[in-house]
């Protein structure tokens, strides 16, 4: 707890969504975040946190554009996550 705290944080992420079949799709993404402030800056790689991952989506209700997705994300220092999500964040 409290391992990834900073006075400020900036991040950028790119994502590509691919349609595989009528109700199936895939997503790949990558990004990087930086914690800075209080004598920390983004020129020090210790303050940079890259990530990447991918997953699959299934369109549950095409008319309502309702999707469910299962994604895997890999980060720095063997950090990872598996996410089950309903809908899109953006």
Q: Which of 12, 1, 3 is nearest to 46 (CA)?
A: 3
Q: What is the DSSP string of 10-55?
A: EEEEEEEEEE-SSSEEEEEEEEEEEEEBTTB-TTSGGGEEEEEEEE
pLDDT over 70 (residue 1): no
> What global pTM score does this model have?
0.81
In angstroms, the Cα distances linking 54 to 28, 41, 46 are 4, 29, 25
pLDDT over 60 (residue 27): yes
Phi then psi for 77, rounded to 5 degrees? 60, 45
- State pLDDT tens for residues 32-83: 999 999 889 999 999 999 999 999 999 999 888 899 999 999 999 999 999 9
């Amino acid at each position: 707890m409290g391992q990834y705290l900073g006075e400020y944080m900036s991040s950028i992420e790119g994502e590509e969504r691919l349609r595989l079949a009528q109700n199936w799709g895939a997503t790949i993404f990558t990004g990087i975040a930086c914690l800075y402030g209080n004598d920390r800056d983004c020129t020090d790689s210790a303050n940079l946190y890259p990530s990447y991952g991918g997953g699959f989506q299934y369109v549950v209700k095409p008319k309502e554009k309702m999707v469910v997705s299962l994604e895997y994300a890999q980060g720095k220092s063997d950090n990872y996550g598996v996410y089950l999500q309903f809908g899109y964040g953006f």
